[in-house]
Chains A and B, each alone.
Chain A
C-alpha cells in the first residue's frame, strides 16, 4: 500500500462497507476535474507525432487489444461466425497481423462464438445485465449474466444503473456490481459507465472509483449506443482513476474505450493517453481494450500503407 493519499481518502477504499454515507463521503471527497484543463491536456497529447516504427507498433497494439464487436438486433449465428473468422485472422493476406483480443456479442450468440474460436486464444465477451439500458430487476440481470457464463463467455460487459447513480444512490450501484461480480467468479468483469449519460467529468471520476471499489476488472466508457461515447477527455479521467487506484491499493485494473472510435488516428491517440498516464505496461490485452467494429478496416489499411508505401482500397479489406 502506497503512502500516497488522496484528499479525504486515508482509508483503503476497498474496505468501504457499501453503506451510502461512507461511500458517498468517499466519492465526494475525490478531487474535482477541471473541464478546461482536462480538455487542454488531451488536445495537447493529440499532437504527439507517431511515425514509422512507432505507428506500426501501435497499430498492432490496437489490433491485439481490440474487442471486435457486433451488437445488433439483426445479428445471426452466421454473422457471428464470420466475425470470428476475421478476429482470428484480421488480414488473410498477411499472417504477421496479430489476432484481436476478444469478440464481443450478445449472450444468446456466445455459444456460436465459443465454438468458432475454440482453442484460438481469442476470448469471447458477452454484454449482459439488460444491456444497453440496464433497465431490469437485479434478478434478471444476474440471470442474464449467468446465461452468458454458462454458454462459455470468458468476459462479461455489464452496464451500471445510471438512474441510480445520477440520483445519488451510489450504494445501490455498488451492490449491483458486486452481485454481478459474484456470479462472474473468475470470469473477467468489465463495467460500462455509459459516460455519455453521466454528463460531467466529476461524475465519470466518481463512477470510475465506484466500479473499481466494487471489483470491476475493467472500467469501460460506453455501450456504443449513446453519443458522445469514448472521447479522449473521458478516457483520460478513467485512466487517472485506474492509476490512482493502483497507486493506493497496488492492484492493476484495466480500461476499455468503446463507442465511436473509427479511425486509426483516433485509436492511436487513445493509446498515447494510456502511455502517458499509466505507462506502456498497460498496453496489453489484460489491462486495456478498444471496443470497435469498423475500426479494424482502417487499422489494416494503415498497416498495409506502412508495408507497401501506398494506400490501398477499403474494397481490398475483408469486411467480416
Chain B
C-alpha cells in the first residue's frame, strides 16, 4: 500500500431521518369516529366510545364508537336489507364497484399507508410496499371473479352465502379487511366487519372510501369495538357466515358458539411455522428469508417463521450470519422510510412477548439481541434470537407473535419433517435448499396450509392461504377462498346454509 497517497478514513454518516408526512393521514379532519351502518355514520346507541393510540409514541390518535348489541343488530339488519339488490346486480356491475374501490385505494395509497403505520406501529416501508398494494391486489383479483362465478367450481349460477360477519386482527388491519370484503362483494354477499380494538382507523377510512365510491348503502358495514362486540356479531342469528382471523383461543370459542347453527365458518388462527434450512441452501438468501420470516411486521404474523430448523453442519454459520444481519436492522420511528422494525402493537402484546422470552431464558435457551437502543416512549421489543432451544421449550411450542426466533437443529430430512410437524399448529412452513426434489419431498410431508420454498411470507390474491390443525380451516384467496362465500345453486332452496366449509 506504499503507493497509496490516499488515506481517507471511513466517512462518518448515517441515514438522515426520512419521516413520511403524517398530515396525509388526515387524522384531524377526515376521521369518522363513528360506526358505518347502512351507508351512514352513526354513534353507538349508548354513545360509548373508546380511544386508539399510536403504539410507537402512546399518543392518542382518535376516539371511536364502541358498538354494543343494539348496534350489531342494526348493522346486520342493514346488511340483510342490502343483500337482495346487491346479489341481484349482474356480476359485471359488482365488478365495476370492486375495480373502483381498488383504484381509489391505489390513488390514496399514501394516506392509507400512513394511517395504518400510525395506528398499528408497523414501518411505513411495509405499509407502503406490502399492506396497501396487496390489499388493492385482492380487490382487483376479486373484481375479476365477480362475473365469472360460474367457473368457481360449484356449477352454474352459484348463490352468495348471504350476510357475512367478519372479525379481523390488528396485525394487518387493511389487508385482512380486503381479504374478507373482496370475496364477499364479488360473490354478491354483504358484510359486517369488525376491525380489531387497537387498529380501527383504516377500516373506518375504507368505509369512507366505499361511501365516496357510491357503493350501495349496507353492502359494507364497519362497526368498531372490543371483544364483546365481536362476540355479539358472530353469535348474531342474522349472520350466514363468519370469517374470523385471530387467535386460536377465540377461534375455538367461535366454533363452539356456531356448532349446530348451520352457519358457515372459516377460521384463520395462530401458527408456529418451521423455517427449514438445509446445508445446501443459498445461505445469503436464506438469511434474508429467515429475517423476513420472523422480523417482518415485528413478528406479528400468524404464518411467521418463528421456529428456525437448521441442518447441524451449517448451524454455526447461519447463526453467525443472522446475528451480523440483525445488527443492520434499523428499529425506530415507524414513519421513517428507513425503519425496518417498528413498534409492538400494544402494551398487552409486549407483555406476552416479554413473558415468553423470559420463559425461554429460564428454560436454558441462549438469548441474543443486537445492540439497539429502544425509544423511551411506546411499546418496543428488540429483534431476538434464541439458540440452544429444545423442542419441548415453551418458545418452541407456543406462538409468541413477536420478533423472537427460536433456533433448533436437525440431522436428516426425516427429522426435519418430524420436528416441523410436532406442533399443534399447521399454518405455514418454509424450505431452503438448492435441491428441487427435496423441496417436493418435504412439501408432501409437511402438515401446513402453505409451504414456501426458497422464500417466505409471500402472498398473492390468486394463491389460497389458510391452515390445518389448530391454525384453522378454510382458505382465503384464489378459487378456494372464493368458495367460502358461495353456495351451489342446487344446495338447498331454504337458504339454511351448508355447514362448516373446509
Contact = CB atoms under 8 A, between A and B. Distances in A.
Nearest to B337: A49
Contact of A31 (B3, B8, B15, B282): B282
Contacts of A4: 316-317, 320
A83 interface: no
B216 interface: no
A53 interface: yes
A3 B18 contact: no
Interface residues of B, number: 39
Interface in B1-17: 1-6, 8-16
User: Most chain-A Cβ atoms within 10 A of its Cβ — which of B11, B18, B129, B320?
Assistant: B11
Contacts of A283: 10-11
A121 B3 contact: no
Interface string A46-60: 011111111101101
Contacts of A188: 3-4
A130 to B, nearest CB: 24
Given A188-B3, A285-B6, A33 B11 contact: no
A33 B284 contact: yes
B284 A240 contact: yes
A34 B13 contact: no
Contact of A53 (B8, B13, B289, B328): B13
Contact of B338 (A48, A154, A187, A281): A48
Interface residues of A, number: 44
A37 B288 contact: yes
Interface in B443-483: 454-455
Contact of A37 (B2, B5, B289): B289
Contacts of A50: 15-16, 18
Contacts of A285: 6, 8
Interface string B252-280: 00000000000000000000000000011
A7 B313 contact: yes
B226 interface: no
A121 B5 CA distance: 6
A218 to B, nearest CB: 12
Contact of B13 (A36, A40, A54): A54
19 contacts: A7-B283, A32-B282, A34-B285, A36-B454, A37-B455, A38-B285, A47-B129, A49-B15, A51-B18, A53-B16, A54-B14, A55-B16, A64-B8, A101-B6, A186-B2, A187-B3, A280-B12, A286-B4, A286-B6
Interface of A: 3-7, 31-34, 36-38, 40-41, 47-55, 57-58, 60-61, 64, 101, 121, 123, 154, 186-188, 240, 276, 280-286
